[in-house]
Amino acid sequence: VDPVLCDTVPLRFAPLAQLDRASGYEPGGRRFESCRARHMIVMHEAYMQAALDEAHRASAQHEVPIGAVVVVDGKVVGAGFNQPISTSDPTAHAEIVALRASARTIGNYRVTGGTLYVTVEPCLMCVGAIIHARLGTVVYGAAEPKTGAVQSTMHAFDQKALNHRVTVVSGVLEEECAELLQKFFRERRNKHVATG
């Protein structure tokens, strides 16, 4: 492992289990930084970028720009973007569309252990679908203070009565995800003001 590749990840991102790798670093006072942690960050950002690409597709169709991808064993098996307006379907959130696509791809409604990358914190409906699909991890970009059911308005995955647990990673490419939403609504407001 080339320690130079790890220079940009502060120790706070390094899991304690990776401290055994510190012996590979020069003893000249250089601080330890985990290559595994750096790999995870790069991986999360790459898949979140794919979700952002889906969000741009939503924006091009005048839908709220939210995108999602589902990854199983390092491969994208489903992708989707918000499309409730164009499909006249209130359940056509990016997460649901991506889960449906992934279930078709793998031939099973259970996407056991898969990871969902979504640009905005999932709502309660999408949390329910995530639980039913048996995803292992949800990675989201921007918080959703009005309807986000993962950490903002409630901690839905933490309900003891639920029969499935999901790992959550938040804030991946948060600025890019939030800016896309803000730009969309800013342009929408400006268009509304201009047309009266």
Q: Which sequence positions are flagged as catalytic?
A: 95
Query: How many angstroms separate the CA atoms of 27 and 129, rounded?
Result: 49
Which 8-state DSSP code applies to residue 139?
E
In the chain the first and final C-alpha atoms are separated, in Å, by 60
Long-range contacts of residues 98-102, Cβ cutoff 8 Å, at least 24 apart: 98/54, 98/68, 98/69, 98/70, 99/70, 99/129, 99/130, 99/133, 101/70, 101/77, 102/70, 102/72, 102/77, 102/78, 102/133
Q: Name the strands in the sheet holding 167-170, side by side, starting at the edge strand that comes first in the sequence.
A: 75-81, 67-72, 115-120, 137-142, 167-170
Structure-block tokens of residue 139: 């990675």
Structure-block tokens of residue 155: 């901690």
